[in-house]
């Protein structure tokens, strides 16, 4: 569920507005709830699912240039439903809001470059197509080139223009692609990932174009209601090991400090075959902490990941400590999202790897307020 | 300096009444000039600053042809993002009805706050009080509902509006319930339009203003718009403008936001120019007074001048002394004129803003504060002109020989060749006036026309000594017969003082000629308009919205309201008039493109044709064809005749239309092009009408139907329904208000001129105390003396008015057939308002006679022992 507290915040904001104006309205009104029995098919389900309120396409990756410079990147497209059927026939009436985040981490210099966008569809300058992968926000876009994905997001002096091969193909999480987030059956999302996409293309850093190669991870998730009261934040891992294994893990944190039982993960074999990991199969131990000078939040930037059922012990370390995003101009949510390096053992074999880590709910107002 | 103080300043202080009148004259002259300038720049600058600040950080804007930018085209303009940020805008006017019951016109901006925020800094009161800035999404969410409106802090304070206060938004005829979701801080755009700004979400604005699918413009903020060096920035904007212009599809244009301001400026140029020219007449009268004062002081102090010269004062010194006097008068007049002018400007703005179509509804025209520039201007206008006016008497003083001066030989300067020279000068001026009147306008401004008027005015002034001389020669016998001994004495006195009186009488003649000319022009214009209104206002009822937006997008009538009106059983036909602003020609002049139902117009009449005579046939030819009829002012300004082809911009690109007729129109000097509504719809799309004409069953009482219709449309639709008679009256009311300022300016000039005559008489009396005392000694009664002086004054008044009438007629011809045609392009049927002229003649005779009363009283007190 590569998290996206972001979305939580947006959901909150829209919910408050709706509540403020029409006390009877519930944010989910008019939107479909996630139910079992919808088989994911591609490329159809790369496309937008506009019956559902919340949807995101999420690309992260670790890349390096020919001369060995290392970079992390993140490009995210959000679609947040506001009103499934606006009464106003104007093209500018807001059915959905489209947001996008772009971040490039220059690991060598420890610098994080970020940009964000927030727009309505209007005359089609932002949007997401149904039936195939095509999502865009201004001139930032992700679409298909055969089976490969193209991701382009350049903001003036920095950005990415990448070609992502399908690699192992999509892996559905949870049961039949439904990822449970809460005790209520509807509080869930459809969720799949393409966990290892061989990537080539160019980065733009300070106006300089750099040829890069590496591996990306794509997440696509959609649903209408996600979290429940008491869930304050989450920690999410996408790890690509050098033995060809990919691991997705997340834990929901509760306001009483406990881990929410709706935490889970997915183990993806080099062949692409995947197996779910239940909450009791994963142990995530925070280690060294980093204090963000801008938000004052304290994030664990080193983690010990134990998967006893898989005989796996991994140390996950932030490639750069300062990878916090402040998205005031789009979502107003502050979260940590960054490239990590992995070392450890899988069944006595030493492994290394790369990945991305997302930590939410460490800064700003209590997230429990979001979901009533 | 000491000499100047003793010789000039002391004399000025001593002869208080004359100095005072001159200063008042100068003051009023300067004040009127300053006032008109301030009022003109005030209205234009009010518009321009409002434009600037509302335009905010906008570097360029994309505009459509008249009807705006179709959204479908915008979708293809994604490449604009390569140049900068893009924000679509709906820019309209509406009225807000506050809970306190007031209705206020506001400028409405419909924007996508997500895109628009970098363009205009919006900060909301509540969040600023909480010490944080509003996130874009929060701002958007405040406005998402179609009932949401954001007003300004200032407006809120004025009308007791707070957050969540319900208000009514009146758009065209529709009343829309809204809730105030935010109050903008008193800064930026909110401040400039005096707080009369409402912010709507663009989707809501499109819905409420009937603009689904359309945008009023698309603003563009270049990425490097914040270049520190303005020159660099300007070059970049120019480059981008050229590049974008080359890529835009037909029907769209790119321009700088200031372009809109320039178009309005251009539109008002003729009006402002004429007003400015008129204002200088008051100054000219003031100058006559300066001349008069200096001349009088030269003549009345001949012996002193002689003494000075005898004591070794050079000619230069003498000349300098009198020029100094003029300069002092001018400076005092300019100094006083500035504040008085500033006050007058407020009055003038009040008058003109109701006449110049309320400029831009929510842009309060304000008078700019007085600056150092105004002081410089006032002095730069007043002092050199005053010096020029005083140069003649000052030279005369300098030329005086000590002997002649001391001997006081010819206190009343001999006429000598003066009348003859004046006659020649007058002839020359009239001749050049005739030549100037035949020249063409310069850049749409009647420069030569005004030159002609000026030549005639000075020609008339030069004629005055000639006429006074004629009166001297021929008037003695009739005066004696008619008014007996007092008449004879009055005639003798005036005859002796011809050279002295010439100037003040000339000033009065000029003022009266102008008054006559303006009265004739306005009277003719009014007659013409009355006739035109009678011919063209054929419908029984006229429906309009309460708001009028004379510049920019029209305020329209909703389909529901039209349906309700049409369903009344007594309404037999209904014609909607649609109009949009369009730019035309190489100078991008702002014209009006109108559309009406030609079938209805042909059946019921409604246009008065100039050419061809059979307008109905011409209109028929324009139906279902790419053809138009144009107003007279359009034809004249753009040199267009029947059967010419004209190019009009349309959303589909530039298209050619044939002109089938030229018709008379006095509703606007901007130039109107009218096409059949089907043609309009084909090129400009469906648009709601801004006015409706209703034709009723014969025999029904329009008043009754009007009341019934008002009941039918009820409170949901705010409409003005006027009967034919009421609309005619309204047209004339607006007409009269328009010319009120003209009369006001004239009245000031006349008051100054009459004061001038009175002081001249007073000076003469003071000089003649000895003689008057002698008259009393030889048995003249006080009453006789008084009568004699009053007769002198009235004679001057009647004479002035006589000349004024003749010259006024000539001037009115220039005004109507040269200046009016060149600036506005209207045909005015010549009409002499005889009643008004008769009244004014009588009034002038009485007023000047009354003005003679004070000098008369002084005269009756004269005794032989009096010294000067």
Long-range contacts of B496-500 (CB under 8 A, 24+ apart): B496/B412, B497/B412, B497/B764, B498/B415, B498/B465, B498/B468, B498/B469, B498/B472, B499/B412, B499/B413, B499/B414, B499/B415, B499/B418, B499/B465, B500/B295, B500/B296, B500/B299, B500/B412, B500/B413, B500/B760, B500/B763, B500/B764
Alpha-carbon distance of B197 to B109, in angstroms, equals 7
Burial of B416 (0-12, 13-18, 19+ CB in 10 A): exposed
List CB contacts (< 8 A) between A6 and chain B. Answer: none
Residue B847 domain boundaries:
415-538+724-868
CA distance B551 to chain A (A): 26
Flag if A94 and B78 touch (Cβ within 8 Å). Answer: no
Q: Are residues B70 and B151 located together in one domain of the fold?
A: yes
* Mean predicted lDDT score pLDDT of chain B: 80
- Cβ atoms within 10 A of the Cβ of B316, count? 9
The tens digit of pLDDT for each residue in B369-390 reads: 777 777 887 787 778 878 887 8
**DSSP H or E segment with residue A136:** strand A134-137
Out of A279-288, B195-204, B459-468, B671-680, pick the least confident: B459-468
Model confidence band, residue B408 (pLDDT cutoffs 50, 70, 90): low
- Cβ atoms within 10 A of the Cβ of A208, count? 10
Which pLDDT belongs to residue A127?
95
For the cut 80, the answer to whether the pLDDT of residue B346 exceeds it is no
Which pLDDT belongs to residue A102?
95
Alpha-carbon distance of B169 to B178, in angstroms, equals 6
Q: Is residue B771 part of a domain?
A: yes
Q: Which of B144, B147, B201 to mutate to test the interface with A (most CBs of A within 10 A)?
A: B144
Domains: count for chain B: 4
Residue in A closest to B136 by C-alpha: A329
Tell me the three-class secondary structure of B561-609, residue by residue: HHHHHHCCCCEEEEEEEEEEEEEECCCCEEEEEEEECHHHHHHHCCCEE
Q: Are residues B432 and B524 located together in one domain of the fold?
A: yes
Q: Which residues contact B88 (CB under 8 A, 6 or more apart)?
A: A92, A122, B69, B74, B111, B112, B115, B202, B215, B217, B218, B219
Q: Are residues B520 and B593 located together in one domain of the fold?
A: no
**DSSP H or E segment with residue B130:** none
What is the sign of the dihedral through the CA atoms of A338, A343, A344 and A347? positive
Q: Is residue B280 part of a domain?
A: no
Residue in A closest to B206 by C-alpha: A90
Flag if A139 and B202 touch (Cβ within 8 Å). Answer: no
Mean pLDDT of B181-198: 79
Out of A82-91, A194-203, B264-273, B784-793, pick the least confident: B264-273
Q: Is residue B27 part of a domain?
A: yes
Mean pLDDT of B58-87: 85
Model confidence band, residue B657 (pLDDT cutoffs 50, 70, 90): very high
Q: Are residues B522 and B568 located together in one domain of the fold?
A: no
Cα first-last separation, chain B: 26
> Do the Cβ atoms of B327 and B387 come closer than 8 Å?
yes
For the cut 80, the answer to whether the pLDDT of residue B176 exceeds it is yes
Q: Which of A18, A84, A91 to mutate to test the interface with B (most CBs of B within 10 A)?
A: A91
Q: Are residues B671 and B776 located together in one domain of the fold?
A: no
For the cut 70, the answer to whether the pLDDT of residue B348 exceeds it is no
The tens digit of pLDDT for each residue in B137-168 reads: 888 888 888 899 999 988 899 898 988 899 99
Chain A contact present for B112, CB below 8 A: yes
Q: Is residue A38 part of a domain?
A: no
Q: Is residue B275 part of a domain?
A: no
Q: Is residue B264 part of a domain?
A: no
Two structure tokens written together for B475 = 């008037």
Two structure tokens written together for B30 = 């300067």
> Do the Cβ atoms of B385 and B287 come closer than 8 Å?
yes
- The residue written with tokens 């490639």 in the block is A319
Two structure tokens written together for B112 = 């996508």
For the cut 70, the answer to whether the pLDDT of residue B443 exceeds it is yes
Flag if B206 and A328 touch (Cβ within 8 Å). Answer: no
Out of A323-337, B96-110, B276-290, pick the least confident: B276-290
Q: Which residue has the higher pLDDT, A366 or A163?
A: A163
Domains: count for chain A: 1
Q: Which of A13, A81, A92 to mutate to test the interface with B (most CBs of B within 10 A)?
A: A92
Which pLDDT belongs to residue B817?
87
The tens digit of pLDDT for each residue in B473-520 reads: 887 777 777 777 777 777 777 777 777 777 778 877 887 888 788 788
Model confidence band, residue A21 (pLDDT cutoffs 50, 70, 90): very low
Mean pLDDT of B625-646: 90
Q: Is residue B291 part of a domain?
A: no
Between CA A255 and CA A263, with CA A260 as vertex, the angle to 5 degrees is: 140
* Mean predicted lDDT score pLDDT of chain A: 87
Q: Are residues B386 and B442 located together in one domain of the fold?
A: no
Q: Are residues B745 and B652 located together in one domain of the fold?
A: no
- Cβ atoms within 10 A of the Cβ of B662, count? 23
Q: Are residues B427 and B448 located together in one domain of the fold?
A: yes
Q: Is residue A200 part of a domain?
A: yes
HSE value, Cβ hemisphere, 13 Å, CA-based, for B101: 0
Chain A interface, Cβ < 8 Å to B: 10, 13-14, 17, 21, 82-83, 86-94, 97, 118-120, 122-125, 138-139, 156, 328-332
Q: Which residue has the higher pLDDT, B737 or B602?
A: B602
Two structure tokens written together for A133 = 């992968």
Flag if B135 and A90 touch (Cβ within 8 Å). Answer: no
Mean pLDDT of B653-666: 89
> Between A13, A119, A123, which is nearest B141 by CB?
A13
For chain B, percent of residues with pLDDT exceeding 70: 86
DSSP for B802-857, please give it: HHHHHHHHHHHHHIIIIIHHHHT---------HHHHHHHHHHHHHHHHHHTHHHHH
Examine the fold and report which residue of B360, B379, B411 is the final residue of a domain before the chain moves on.
B411
Q: Are residues B368 and B458 located together in one domain of the fold?
A: no
Q: Is residue B276 part of a domain?
A: no
Flag if A89 and B207 touch (Cβ within 8 Å). Answer: yes
For the cut 90, the answer to whether the pLDDT of residue B711 exceeds it is no
**Chain-centroid distance, C-alpha B250:** 37
Say if strands B589-596 and A148-155 run parallel, antiparallel, or are unpaired: unpaired
Mean pLDDT of B345-358: 57
Examine the fold and report which residue of B411, B444, B475 is the final residue of a domain before the chain moves on.
B411
Residue in A closest to B111 by C-alpha: A92
Between CA B798 and CA B809, with CA B803 as vertex, the angle to 5 degrees is: 125
Q: Is residue A37 part of a domain?
A: no
- The residue written with tokens 């460490």 in the block is A362
For the cut 70, the answer to whether the pLDDT of residue B199 exceeds it is yes
SS3 B615: helix
Alpha-carbon distance of A124 to B75, in angstroms, equals 7
Q: Is residue B281 part of a domain?
A: no
List CB contacts (< 8 A) between A82 and chain B. Answer: 144
Q: Are residues B848 and B786 located together in one domain of the fold?
A: yes
Phi, psi of B698 (to 5 degrees): -60, 140
List CB contacts (< 8 A) between A120 and chain B. Answer: 112, 114, 140
Examine the fold and report which residue of B393, B411, B429 is the final residue of a domain before the chain moves on.
B411
Two structure tokens written together for A173 = 């999480």
The tens digit of pLDDT for each residue in B716-771 reads: 788 888 888 888 887 777 777 667 766 776 677 677 777 777 777 777 777 777 77
Model confidence band, residue B82 (pLDDT cutoffs 50, 70, 90): confident
Mean pLDDT of B235-255: 88
Biggest CA pair distance of chain B: 102
Q: Is residue A204 part of a domain?
A: yes
Model confidence band, residue A1 (pLDDT cutoffs 50, 70, 90): very low
Give the domain CATH number at A188: 2.40.370.10
Alpha-carbon distance of B415 to B421, in angstroms, equals 11
ipTM computed for the complex: 0.87
Residue A110 domain boundaries:
5-32+43-370
Closest CA to B752 of B212, B285, B169: B285
Q: Are residues B734 and B709 located together in one domain of the fold?
A: no
Out of A158-162, A323-327, B268-272, B563-567, pick the least confident: B268-272
Q: Are residues B402 and B477 located together in one domain of the fold?
A: no
């Amino acid at each position: 569920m590569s998290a996206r507290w972001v979305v939580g915040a947006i959901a909150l904001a829209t919910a408050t507005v709706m509540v403020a104006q029409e006390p009877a309205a519930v944010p989910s009104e008019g939107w479909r709830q996630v139910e079992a029995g919808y088989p994911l098919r591609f490329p159809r389900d790369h496309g937008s699912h506009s019956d559902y309120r919340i949807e995101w396409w999420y690309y992260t990756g670790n890349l390096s240039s020919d001369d060995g410079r290392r970079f992390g990147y993140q490009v995210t497209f959000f679609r947040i439903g506001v009103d499934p059927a606006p009464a106003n026939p104007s093209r500018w009436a807001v059915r959905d809001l489209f947001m996008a985040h772009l971040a490039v981490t220059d690991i060598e210099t420890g610098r994080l470059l970020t940009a964000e966008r927030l727009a309505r569809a209007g005359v089609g300058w932002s949007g997401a197509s149904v039936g195939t992968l095509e999502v865009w926000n201004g001139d930032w876009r992700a679409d298909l080139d055969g089976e490969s994905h193209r991701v382009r997001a350049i903001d003036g002096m920095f950005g990415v223009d990448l070609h992502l091969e399908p690699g192992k193909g999509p892996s559905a999480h949870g049961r039949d692609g439904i990822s449970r987030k809460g005790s209520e059956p509807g509080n869930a999302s459809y969720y799949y990932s393409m966990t290892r996409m061989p990537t080539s293309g160019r980065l733009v850093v300070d106006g300089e174009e750099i040829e890069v190669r590496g591996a990306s991870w794509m997440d696509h998730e959609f649903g209408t209601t996600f979290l429940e009261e008491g869930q304050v934040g989450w920690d999410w891992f996408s790890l690509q090991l050098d033995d060809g294994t990919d691991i997705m893990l997340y834990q929901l944190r509760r306001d009483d400090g406990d881990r929410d039982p709706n935490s889970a993960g997915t183990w993806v074999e080099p062949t692409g075959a995947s197996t779910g990991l239940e909450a009791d199969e994963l142990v995530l131990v925070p280690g060294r902490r980093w204090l963000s000078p801008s938000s004052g939040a304290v994030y664990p930037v080193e983690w010990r990941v134990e998967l006893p059922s898989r005989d796996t012990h991994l140390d996950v370390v932030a490639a750069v400590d300062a990878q916090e995003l402040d998205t005031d101009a789009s979502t107003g949510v502050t979260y940590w999202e960054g490239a990590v390096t992995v070392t450890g053992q899988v069944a006595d074999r030493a492994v290394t790897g790369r990945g991305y880590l997302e930590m939410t709910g460490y800064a700003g107002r209590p997230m429990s307020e979001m979901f009533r | 300096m000491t000499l100047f103080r003793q010789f000039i300043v002391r004399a000025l202080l001593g002869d208080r009444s004359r100095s005072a009148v001159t200063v008042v004259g100068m003051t009023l002259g300067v004040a009127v000039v300053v006032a008109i300038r301030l009022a003109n720049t005030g209205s234009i600058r009010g518009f321009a600053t409002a434009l600037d600040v509302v335009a905010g950080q906008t570097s360029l804007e994309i505009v459509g042809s008249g009807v705006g930018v179709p959204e479908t085209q915008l979708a293809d303009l994604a490449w604009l993002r390569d140049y900068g940020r893009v924000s679509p805008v709906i820019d309209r006017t509406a009225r807000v009805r506050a809970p306190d019951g007031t209705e206020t016109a506001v400028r409405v901006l419909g924007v996508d706050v997500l895109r628009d925020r970098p363009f205009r800094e919006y900060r909301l009161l509540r969040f600023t009080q909480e010490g944080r800035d509003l996130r874009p999404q929060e701002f958007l969410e405040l406005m998402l509902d179609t009932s949401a409106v954001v007003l300004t802090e200032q407006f809120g304070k004025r009308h007791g509006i707070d957050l969540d206060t319900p208000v009514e938004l009146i758009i065209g005829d529709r009343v829309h319930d809204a809730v105030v979701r935010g109050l903008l801080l008193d800064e930026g755009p909110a401040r400039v339009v005096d707080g009369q700004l409402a912010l709507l979400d663009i989707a809501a604005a499109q819905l409420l203003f009937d603009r689904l699918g359309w945008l009023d413009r698309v603003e563009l903020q270049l990425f490097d718009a914040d270049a520190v060096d303005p020159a660099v920035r300007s070059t970049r904007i120019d480059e981008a403008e050229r590049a974008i212009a080359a890529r835009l599809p037909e029907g769209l244009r790119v321009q700088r936001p200031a372009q809109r301001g320039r178009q309005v400026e251009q539109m008002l140029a003729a009006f402002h120019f004429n007003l400015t020219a008129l204002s200088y007449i008051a100054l000219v009268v003031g100058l006559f007074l300066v001349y008069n004062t200096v001349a009088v002081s030269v003549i009345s102090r001949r012996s002193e001048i002689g003494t000075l010269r005898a004591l070794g004062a050079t000619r230069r010194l003498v000349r300098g002394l009198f020029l100094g006097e003029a300069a002092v008068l001018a400076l005092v007049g300019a100094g006083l004129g500035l504040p008085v002018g500033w006050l007058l400007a407020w009055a003038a703005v009040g008058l003109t803003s109701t006449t110049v179509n309320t400029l831009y509804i929510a842009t309060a025209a304000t008078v700019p504060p007085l600056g150092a520039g105004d002081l410089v201007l006032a002095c730069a206008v007043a002092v050199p002109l005053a010096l020029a006016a005083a140069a003649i008497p000052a030279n005369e003083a300098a030329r005086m020989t000590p002997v002649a001066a001391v001997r006081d030989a010819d206190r009343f300067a001999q006429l000598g060749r003066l009348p003859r020279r004046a006659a020649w000068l007058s002839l020359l001026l009239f001749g050049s006036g005739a030549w100037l009147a035949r020249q063409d306008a310069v850049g749409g401004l009647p420069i030569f026309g005004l030159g002609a008027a000026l030549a005639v005015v000075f020609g008339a002034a030069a004629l005055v000594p000639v006429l006074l001389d004629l009166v001297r020669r021929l008037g003695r016998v009739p005066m004696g017969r008619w008014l007996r001994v007092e008449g004879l004495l009055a005639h003798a006195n005036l005859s002796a003082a011809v050279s002295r009186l010439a100037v003040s009488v000339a000033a009065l003649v000029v003022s009266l000629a102008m008054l006559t000319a303006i009265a004739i022009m306005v009277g003719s214009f009014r007659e013409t308009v009355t006739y035109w209104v009678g011919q063209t206002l054929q419908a029984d009822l006229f429906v309009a919205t309460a708001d009028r937006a004379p510049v920019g997008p029209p305020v329209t009538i909703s389909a529901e309201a039209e349906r309700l009106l049409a369903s009344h059983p007594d309404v037999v036909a209904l014609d909607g008039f649609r109009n949009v602003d369009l730019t035309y020609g190489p100078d991008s002049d702002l014209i009006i493109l109108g559309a009406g139902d030609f079938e209805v117009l042909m059946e019921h009449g409604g246009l008065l044709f100039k050419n061809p005579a059979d307008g109905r046939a011409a209109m028929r030819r324009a139906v279902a064809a790419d053809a138009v009829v144009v107003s007279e002012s359009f034809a004249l300004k753009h040199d267009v005749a029947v059967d010419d082809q004209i190019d009009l911009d349309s959303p589909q690109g530039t298209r050619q239309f044939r002109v089938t007729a030229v018709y008379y129109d006095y509703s606007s000097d901007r130039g109107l092009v009218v096409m059949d509504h089907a043609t309009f719809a084909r090129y400009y799309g469906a648009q709601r009408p801004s006015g409706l004409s209703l034709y009723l069953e014969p025999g029904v009482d329009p008043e009754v139907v009007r009341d019934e219709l008002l009941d039918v449309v009820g409170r949901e639709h705010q409409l003005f329904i006027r009967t034919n008679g009421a609309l005619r009256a309204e047209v004339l009311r607006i007409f009269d208000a328009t010319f009120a300022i003209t009369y006001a300016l004239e009245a000031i000039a006349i008051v100054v001129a009459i004061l001038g005559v009175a002081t001249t008489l007073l000076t003469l009396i003071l000089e003649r105390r000895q003689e008057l005392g002698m008259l009393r000694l030889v048995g003249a009664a006080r009453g006789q003396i008084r009568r004699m002086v009053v007769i002198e004054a009235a004679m001057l008044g009647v004479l002035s008015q006589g000349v004024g009438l003749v010259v006024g007629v000539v001037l009115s011809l220039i005004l109507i057939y040269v200046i009016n045609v060149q600036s506005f392009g209207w045909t005015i049927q010549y009409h002499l308002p005889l009643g008004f002229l008769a009244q004014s003649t009588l009034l002038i005779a009485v007023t000047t006679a009354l003005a003679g009363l004070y000098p008369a009283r002084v005269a009756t007190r004269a005794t032989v022992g009096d010294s000067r």
